Structure formats: structure tokens, C-alpha cells
Structure 1
Amino acid sequence: MPKIDDESRGPAIGLAVCVLATPDAAAITRQCGYDFLVVDMEHGRITVDAMASICVAGLMGGFPVYVRVTGPTSPDVARVLDCGATGVIVPHVDTLADAETIVKKTRFAPVGERALPGAVALFGFRPVEVATMVAHSERTTRVIAMIESRSGLEAAPAIAALEGVDALMIGSNDLASALGRMGEIDHPDVAAGFRAVAAAARGAGKMFATMGLPEALIGSHARDLGADMIVATNEINLIADTGTEVLKRVRGLTAVPASDAA
């Protein structure tokens, strides 16, 4: 669980990778000071092979790597855990039935029906007793349900209360769109949705997380609601934003003074 021991530091802050999927991502993210990494397989071209390599790199370095799959019916919901993910982030969890499907796939008996894998990345691929593997996996695996729709909002308390679900995460842009406020994450209706999901998570003793928030809203939509996890940005936005700023500075440093140009 990416909970920070020093509570004064606030929530755990993560970075997502959507395109540049190499094992270096885990090392670079950790070196930058982030608390966890998200490998996004919902959008973009990241393959199972690339995801698995990043997860193993995270395991070797003791750095949490979460994987976002495509939805509750994704064939990779349990597979990413077999490959070494610290946890799975499942988008489009719209009903309690969706959440039950996820728990069934990701939790071993008696809570769920996850198939028993062979040698897994979590143990360095060495064979271990089934009881040891199950106990350790259940203790360390995190299952995160994303709330991104009106029906998801309505079902949030029930989803949060479900045994096997560890956190509710809001997909900011999709939730705003579902509420008829596309691109208006700061709208009062959307803010109310954030408060409702945070309350549902807190009421069930589960974690509350956000993804896709602009920096100006992190205070009101995450920190003030007691968020445990915040995915700050993804690597493409980071490169674009920082790259633009660096270019602007270097252009300024290398521009020919007007007097010289004349």
C-alpha cells in the first residue's frame, strides 16, 4: 500500500507511463522522488511484455508499480498481478456487480476465485508453498476500483464496502464528462461527485485516490478530501510541459540581441 509513513508529507504521489514503457521507468520515477508508478494499459500501446518488465524492475527495487487495465472484463485483471504488479487499477467500475467481478478475479479463495499461478514475479520466480504465496499476495495486493460514471457514483458506497476492494479512484475527466460537464472538473457538480466518492471510501475504511486532476484542483478535490493517492501526471504530459519550458529558456539564452541583429 503506497501510504507514506510520515503523515506530514500528505498523500502518496505517483506518475503514470502511457507510451515510454521500459524498465527504466521505475528507476527514473523513484529517483525523481515519486512514491509509486502506474503503468497505463487502458490507453496507448503498452504491451503485457513491457508491463511485466517494469513490474519486475519495481519489485527488484522495492518500488510499487500499479497497472491500469481496460476494465472489469479485461483478461489481464489477474494477469498483471501474476506479472508482479503491486496492484491493479480497474476503470469503468459502474456497479457493484462490476466490483464483484474484479474481486472474483483478483482475490484467492475464499474471498475470490483467482487461479493459482506457478512461479510468480512476486517471489522472484522461485517456487513457494501455495499457502505462503496466497497469504503474502492477499496481504500485499491492492485492488483499486475507478469511479467514472453516474452509476458508479450511486454504487460507490456499496463498491467501497465490498471485501477485496482496497480503494476508490476517480478518473477526473471521465467523471466530469459523465456528469455533463466535459472539461469542467472545477464545476460544483463534479466537485460534489468527488466529495461523494471520498466519503464512500472513508465510510468503508478504504483508500481514496485521484487521477487526472489539474494542479489547481489538487487542494480542493484531493488533499482537502483526505486523498491517500494522487496520480500527478503521465510521462507524455511531463515531457511536453517541461520540454516546452526548457526550450523557452534556452531560446531566451541563445537569442541574438536586437542591436547585434541590426
Structure 2
Amino acid sequence: MKNAAKQRLEAGELAIGVGLRQARTVDTGKIFATCGFDWLFVDMEHNSMGVDTATQICVAAQDAGITPIVRVPGHQHFHATRLLDGGAQGIVVPHVDTVEAAARMVEQCKYPPLGHRSVTGSLPQLGFQPTPLADMTASINDATLLVIMLETPEAIGNADAIAALPGVDVLLVGCSDLGMEMGIPGQPDHPDIAAALKAVCDACDKHGKHAGLGGVYSPPLMQRYIEFGMRFVLAGSDLSFMMQAAGARAAELRALSTD
């Protein structure tokens, strides 16, 4: 079972993602795969998308060769497991401050022996092919990315312990919320943000995990943090891309002469 984002990460390359805030159609994955992205950040925390739409996007994305990863709205087990059973190849868990909270998400998202995820029938990730149970659970565990979001100083302080957990794959720093919590909103270039990102990269490097970057969109600043070790990189959202391109096109046409 292919996971394009995981393959990029294991090769030491950038795994580049795009956030879905507006998109609702199943061709979304093919569009962004053609654009060169590796993973979809299907955001169920900050928009109104429901489970049905999210899972349809996920299943179609698999066939397009782009990894569907869903940010769930909370820590209840059904938030993650319904999306995983429906086709997601990764789960982003927001607002994880402690190693205990991260460990609970491993229990929910990974099958034994890593966790305690409940077994269902045939899965879309395996093309609904009948698969021996031991092979199925091992394959799904290996191909499912569990992404833990760190968005507070407390979370950053616990990065080493969280990265040490078996079953955790990526530590994704949400720089927007982190800056708010630190009292430095909108300053992703602040030395305290940089120090936090460096600490997370060091923790991931120590424990063989992958460091992720969200909320930073200036290429020079992204380059700096990539040099720290960031590899799982959120490039922006469909909304921001649409508004930038549409605004530029409207301005371009407004500048044309009518004389």
C-alpha cells in the first residue's frame, strides 16, 4: 500500500501538503497531485466538512497517488477511527500538550501491538481485498501516519517525550497558535518560535521521527526552518491559493486600458 508522503519522508525529502478548506469534490486529489503535492491536509477542525465528504475525498486521493491526511476536530476515538476506516492514510491530532494525550491517540489510531484500534471489515486503503487479519493490521499500521500537533509552549517542552513514543510518526508545529500562546502572534520569524522549531527537529532526529511545519509561508523563512530539519511541510491552503491567483488576475485585468 503506497503512502506518497511517507515515502518522501523516509527518503529524507520534503513531503509537501496542501490544506483543504473550500474543496468538496472527489477530483481534488487528482488536481493537487498534478500540481506536485504529496499530501492533502483535509481539515475537519477549522471548517464545516463532514465525514462523508472527507472520506470520499480520501478514497479518491489514494487512486490519484496523493496521501489523504485528515485533521480531526478533537481527541475522541471516533473522530480518528471513522476517518481511518473510511480511507484516510493519516490523522493529524490538534492541541496535543502532553505525552499522555499523544499516547491515547496512538492507542486509538494504531492496531495492536502499537495501539488498540478496533478491527473492521475490508478497508479502502487495501482496495477492499480480503486480507489475512495479521497482514492487514501490520500493513495499515505501517502505512498510516499519526501526526501530533504541538501548539503551546507546554507541548514544545514535551516534544522529546512525545517523539519517543512508538506509533507517533510526525510532530507538526502549528506556528500560528504557538505564536498566540507565546504572546507573539503573527511573528513566525521570532527567535522564540525558531527555538521551538529547532527543539522539535532535534527531538525528531533523536528518535527517528519526522518534524512538520505549519503556519509559515514565506519561502526564505521556510528555507531556514527546512535547514533545521523540517520535512513535513504544509505549503498553504486551497483558499489562500485561490484568493492569491484570483486577486492577481483581477488586478491584471483591471489594469487593461478601455480606451
Q: Decide: shared fold, TM above 0.5.
A: yes
Q: Which residue of 1 is the match for residue 128 of structure 2?
A: 125
Q: Deviations over 1:134-154 (max 9, x none)?
A: 111011111110110111011
Work out the number of aligned pairs and report it.
254
Indicate yes or no: 2:77 matched with 1:80. Answer: no
- How far apart in 1 are the matches of 2:178 and 2:111? 31
| Alignment RMSD | 1.8
- How far apart in 1 are the matches of 2:254 and 2:167? 53
- How far apart in 2 are the matches of 1:62 and 1:28? 11
Indicate yes or no: 2:171 matched with 1:135. Answer: no
User: Residues 34-73 of structure 1: matches in 2 within 5 Å?
Assistant: 34-73=37-76
| Among candidates 177, 181, 194, match of residue 180 of structure 2 | 177
Q: Deviations over 1:197-230 (max 9, x none)?
A: 1111111110011112122421122x11122211
| Among candidates 205, 209, 220, match of residue 224 of structure 2 | 220
Structure 1 stretches lacking a partner, 5+ long: none
> What's the TM-score, normalizing by structure 1?
0.92
- How far apart in 2 are the matches of 1:225 and 1:78? 33
Q: CA deviation at 1:67?
A: 0.7
> What's the TM-score, normalizing by structure 2?
0.93
Identity score, percent:
34
- How far apart in 2 are the matches of 1:5 and 1:47? 29
Q: CA deviation at 1:125?
A: 2.5
Describe the shift of the 1:123–1:6 C-alpha distance in structure 2 as closer, same or farther (beyond 3 A).
closer
SS of residue matched to 1:224: helix
Q: CA deviation at 1:61?
A: 2.3
SS of residue matched to 2:198: helix
Q: Deviations over 1:50-99 (max 9, x none)?
A: 11111110122232111111233353112211111111111111000110
SS of residue matched to 1:94: coil
SS of residue matched to 1:75: helix
Q: CA deviation at 1:101?
A: 0.6
Indicate yes or no: 2:189 matched with 1:186. Answer: yes
Describe the shift of the 1:6–1:154 C-alpha distance in structure 2 as closer, same or farther (beyond 3 A).
closer
Q: Deviations over 1:4-63 (max 9, x none)?
A: 38969x412111101222111101100111122111111111110011111110122232
Describe the shift of the 1:148–1:15 C-alpha distance in structure 2 as closer, same or farther (beyond 3 A).
same
Indicate yes or no: 2:23 matched with 1:20. Answer: yes
